[in-house]
Chain A
Amino acid sequence: MSIHHTDTPANPGRRHFLKTTGQLLIGFSIIPSTFTATHAMAADAVTVDEGSINTWLRIDAEGNVTVLTGKTELGQGIKTALMQIAAEELDVSMKRMHIIIADTAQTADERYTAGSASIESSGRAIREAAAEARKVLLEMAAEKLQTQVGGLNVKDGMVTAVATGKSIGYAALLDGKNIQGKVSGKAPQKDPSKYTLVGTSWPREDIAAMATGEPVYVQDMRLPGMLHARIVRPPAYGARLLTLPEEKLKTLPGIVKLVRNGSFVGIVAQEEYQAMKALKLLQQGATWSKPALQPAQPQLFDHILQQNANSEIVRKNESVNPAIEGAATKLEAVYKRPYHMHGSIGPSCAIAEWKDDQLTVWSHTQGAFPLRGTLSDLLGIPEAKIRVMAVPGSGCYGHNGADDVGADAALLAMAVPGKPVRVQWMRDDEHSWEPYGSAMLLRLKGGLDAQGNLLALSTELWSDTHSSRPGGRAGHFIAGRDLEKPFTFSVGRFSGGSYRNSQPLYDTPSQVILNNCKGPLRTSALRSLGAYANIFALESFMDELAHKAGKDPADFRLKYLKDERAKAVIEMVMEKTQWRDRIKKKAAGLGIAFAQYKNDASYCAVVAEVQIDKKAKQYRLIKLTSAIDAGQAINIDGIINQTAGGMIQSASWTMLEEVRYNEGGILTRAWDSYPILRFNAVPHTEVFVINKTGLPPLGAGEAAQGPTAAAIANAIFNATGSRLRELPLKPAKIDWNKV
């Protein structure tokens, strides 16, 4: 099993064979020699029709299966999971499986790899295509072996007639031809109780490459004749270039080209360090006009609260306000979330080449097809002349600098035709220019009757956009706005990300109002979008209500949940953490929280455990435990890895992180000013997966983000009596006199 499935340029015979039999597939390979073959691809590319089996999988002359997905690998292990799905339906062993990820010349357009939706969407398509392929192949085999389809067995791609013992393999059946047919969606699918691969923890192949220093990432690609570039980014949003000390470059060796277009400046050099030295000289000498960044950070939330002209009623219920007004106990609380950073460990990187009237871009984008469309808008060349190939990069948790650096590389490549140009962002570029997760403010109100029963919940929230991806509009690229003839940026109306998970699943009348607002910083999708803050607020508030009602916070939630699967994850995490015993003994601070991601994907409950050091006025997060129901699990270990990782990442956001700025621009430009969780403060983690064999698989990759945040806040309250409602939950915010 390898990530690439490619012909070898050194073997023209085989290449020719594959071409004439319609099986030519050139996947991504970081082995440099294979890149020489990729330029011929546009002509070779097959027509991608989402209705045909061939769009999703092919079987070659040796019986190897290649899955084609329009989704991309972000470190979440999607390649392995999708291959498991296809191998299971086809009854082919994993050693025969290969996969090609998003490539505008070869795969279906599946838009963005986002929203924990790849298993649900691409996985479903691949499963249906594999089931259809199996049906077609078995019909062919039945004819060849002169029997009925029902009388056939398949083992590792070998079809055997039970009655006669005669066999024929998938490859021989196809005899070098494509599998004919459309995906009807009606082909019989394997009974999930008979799964042998799906639902197991099949290991990811790419980890061996990562652990031994084999090339894996776009950063590792080295193309023949490749040039290195850096971008002289403006020092702040909206800054305009006044003067550039171009003469200083004369003293430097290896400079190939200085590209200046308005306030977009790129420097292309023979070698990487030469480009870095040039960047430093240009940054030191350039002068810029700079608008002040407003409002000042201390006034940020006042500024947000003043904006209620662009409001939407997300959920309306006329009975909510009267119920809260008339309640025996009324509660109101305001929660705040600052801007958070993706903070990928490897800054964004892309390679582009303009050659023979064709632009090729290698990118760790989440959306190869939308990136192609947006590059077309930026450069004024048709999409047919652009190929974008997805290549893994450093961990991706949403819309980071990947698309922007793709645009940078494309602009520079157009200026040096025939040469691949590698653009590597500096750490400072990523920290200060990536689109952040939006700051949010949430006001929750609720009422209890005299017996502590919940009467109603009301939420009003304020948020900037969680989606400014470059869906075809070049103004969404940083570079697009800096050109001499700039493209304009306009936020769309999309607001679903802002109110994600704001509607309670609890069985009580509730209403939600969203105020779409505009903040000072660039924002877009960060893992779970608005769900992180919405769940932090709602699940903190449920804890506050339980406390007011004098009820155990876990029992209080269970009482108002109707969905058995929701209750099951809470009950499991309670059992695994010995919640009832330990909450009585008060040995450590315990907090619980729950959400079903997007109210329609995975169910996840988290228990956090904190320990207090009163003397040092510090708390320590000891452990995070979660139970998750992701429906039919495809890869159990993959779900555990994603969930444990999600909890740790969310703990870092929750306890430590806040983007800071002043009127001159972003202040948190590196890890010293934007610290994230390091090994000495990382909690222990434990994840329990409830595998629902036969039920639809549910997106799992973002389910832990929100519950973790609230569980930590609730644990701090349990341990100290201080209710922290403003993220990050710094120890200084705790009232230590109460402890």
Chain B
Amino acid sequence: MEQTIVLKVNGKDWNLNIDPEMPLLYALRNNLQLNGPKYGCGMALCGSCMVLLDGKAQPSCIMPCSTAATHTITTLEGIGNRENPHPVQKACIEEQAAQCGYCLNGVIMCAKELLENNKNPTDAEIREALQRVLCRCGTHTRFISAIKKAAAANPG
């Protein structure tokens, strides 16, 4: 049942002996020990498990690894770290845009895709880009401010 699957994650090729039907999320969290993508619903309804597939924000909780292997995958860890954060990560830290922070992965990954394509998004465009992400603490308005700040810091 297991077979060798090559996943291209955060700029590296990973040879994994795994069940090809296993959703990508579990390979990222358990085989690669990444923390960015999180389990939230397993139904692609909440955005907690968001990753970038060829630069597009996509949930990783239902996509089989065999399909994921055909894409270039980037996780939250792959876009920046504490010392060298991505502008959206930096803005979220500066704006203190989190309460529990569990949804922050989905917010940041969707915002990164948005800012790649739209250097100066409107309030409505930001909301649309984050529509797939659920936040229960009610931090939405801070996320929107942080993303505006990130956009302003990196004008096109």
Q: Which residues of A contact B (CB under 8 A)?
A: 74-77, 201, 203-204, 206-217, 219-220, 222, 253, 271-273, 342-347, 392-397, 424, 426-427, 637, 641-642, 644-649, 652, 670-672, 676-680, 682-685
Residues in chain A near residue B30, CB distance under 8 A: 222, 271-273
Closest chain-A Cβ to B146's Cβ sits at a distance in Å of 9
Question: Given the complex, which residues of B lie within 8 Å of A222, measured CB to CB?
Answer: 30, 33
Known pairs A397-B136, A424-B39, A679-B126. 15 more at Cβ < 8 A?
A: A207-B101, A213-B35, A213-B105, A222-B33, A253-B2, A344-B136, A345-B136, A346-B38, A347-B40, A394-B136, A644-B139, A644-B141, A679-B128, A679-B140, A682-B140
Interface residues of B (CB under 8 A from A): 1-2, 19, 22-23, 26, 29-30, 33-36, 38-43, 45-46, 48, 75-77, 80-82, 85, 89, 92-93, 96-105, 108, 126-128, 130-131, 133-142, 144
**Given A204-B96, A272-B30, A649-B137, is A670 in contact with B19 using a C-beta cutoff of 8 Å?**
no
B139 touches A641 (CB 8 A): yes
In the complex the two chains form, is A680's CB within 8 Å of B36's CB? no
Contacts A207-B98, A211-B98 given; indicate if A684 touches B93 (C-beta within 8 A): no
**Alpha-carbon distance A644/B98, docked complex (angstroms):** 12
**Given A211-B85, A253-B1, A345-B134, are A272 and B92 neighbors across the interface (CB < 8 Å)?**
no
- CB B27 to nearest CB in A, in angstroms, measures 9
Complex contact A346–B39 (CB within 8 A)? yes
Asked if residues B45 and A672 are in contact (CB atoms below 8 Å), the reply is yes
B-side contacts of A396, CB under 8 Å: 100
Partner of A219, one of B39, B75, B82, B127: B39
Cα distance, A222 to B102, chains bound together (Å): 18
Distance from A205 Cβ to chain B, minimum over Cβ atoms (Å): 10
What is the CA–CA distance of A647 and B2 in the complex, to the nearest angstrom?
48
Would A214 and B138 count as touching, CB distance under 8 A?
A: no
Who on chain A is nearest to B132 by CB? A678
Chain B: minimal CB distance from A166 (Å): 39
Most chain A C-beta atoms within 10 Å of own C-beta, residue among B41, B48, B96, B137: B137
Contact of B102 with A212 in the complex, beta carbons under 8 Å:
no
7 smallest CB-CB distances across A and B, nearest first, come from A75-B100, A648-B138, A210-B101, A395-B100, A645-B138, A213-B36, A213-B76
- Bound-state CA distance A213–B102 (Å) is 10
A680 touches B127 (CB 8 A): yes
Closest to A205 in B: B93
CB-based nearest B residue for A683: B141
A392 x B100 contact (CB < 8 A):
yes
Q: Which residues of B contact A207 (CB under 8 A)?
A: 92-93, 96-98, 101
Which chain B residues lie closer than 8 Å to A220 at the CB level? Answer: 35
CB-CB under 8 A from B89, the residues of chain A are 211-212
Chain A residues near B134: list those with CB within 8 A.
345, 671, 676, 678
A-B contact pairs, 27 of them (CB 8 A): A75-B98, A75-B99, A75-B101, A75-B137, A207-B101, A211-B108, A212-B81, A214-B82, A216-B35, A216-B101, A217-B102, A272-B26, A272-B30, A344-B100, A345-B46, A345-B48, A395-B99, A427-B40, A644-B142, A670-B43, A670-B45, A676-B136, A679-B130, A679-B131, A679-B144, A680-B127, A680-B131
Identity of the chain B residue whose Cβ is nearest the Cβ of A678 in the assembled complex = B131
Given A75-B100, A395-B100, answer yes or no on A680-B139 (Cβ-Cβ < 8 Å): no
Selected from B26, B38, B48, B99, the residue in CB contact (under 8 A) with A645 is: B99
Q: Would you give the shortest CB distance from A204 to chain B, in whole angstroms?
A: 6
Is B75's CB under 8 angstroms from A213's CB? yes
Measured CB to CB, the nearest residue on chain B to A201 is B96
Residues of chain A contacted by B133 (CB below 8 angstroms): 679
The main secondary structure of chain A at its interface with chain B is loop
Would you give the shortest CB distance from B6 to chain A, in whole angstroms? 18
CB distance from A228 to the nearest CB of B (A): 8
Taking the closest CB of chain B, its distance from the CB of A254, in whole angstroms, is: 10
CA distance A392 to B41 in the complex (A): 19
Max chain B C-beta neighbours (<10 A), residue from A77, A647, A678, A684: A678
Q: How far is the CB of B12 from chain A (nearest CB, A)?
A: 15
A672 to chain B, nearest CB (A): 6
List of A residues within 8 angstroms of B104 by Cβ: 210-211
CB of B135 within 8 A of CB of A345, answer yes
Q: Tell which of B23, B29, B40, B141 touches A346, judged by Cβ atoms closer than 8 Å.
A: B40
Contacts of A74 in B (CB 8 A): 100
Contact pick for A670, options B29, B41, B81, B105, CB 8 Å = B41
Q: Which residues of B contact A394 (CB under 8 A)?
A: 100, 102, 136
State A215–B105 Cα separation when bound (angstroms). Answer: 12
Residue numbers in B under 8 Å from A253 (CB-CB): 1-2
**B131 CB to nearest A CB, Å:** 5
| Minimum CB distance partner of B135 in chain A | A345
CA–CA, A670 to B46, complex, Å? 10
The residue on B at minimum CB distance from A217 is: B102
Q: Is the CB of B127 within 8 A of A682?
A: yes
Q: How far is the CA of A684 from the CA of B140 in the complex (A)?
A: 9
Contact of A211 with B93 at beta-carbon distance under 8 Å, contacts A395-B99, A645-B137 already known: yes
CB distance from B107 to the nearest CB of A (A): 9
Q: Which single member of B19, B93, B103, B127 contacts A208 (CB below 8 Å)?
A: B93
Residues of chain B within 8 A of A645, CB atoms compared = 99, 137-139
- The answer on a CB contact under 8 Å between B127 and A679 is yes
Contacts of A203 in B (CB 8 A): 93, 96
Which of A210, A424, A678 has the largest count of B CB atoms less than 10 A from its CB?
Answer: A210
Residues of A close to B105: CB separation below 8 A: 213
List of B residues within 8 angstroms of A676 by Cβ: 134, 136
Chain B residues within an 8 Å CB radius of A346: 38-40, 48, 102
Q: A272-B30, A642-B99 are in contact. Are A215 and B35 (CB under 8 A)?
A: yes
Closest-CB distance, B129 to chain A (whole angstroms)? 8
- Closest chain-B Cβ to A652's Cβ sits at a distance in Å of 8
**B46, A671: Cβ atoms under 8 Å?**
yes
Q: With A210-B104, A395-B137, A396-B100 in contact, do A345 and B80 touch (Cβ < 8 Å)?
A: no
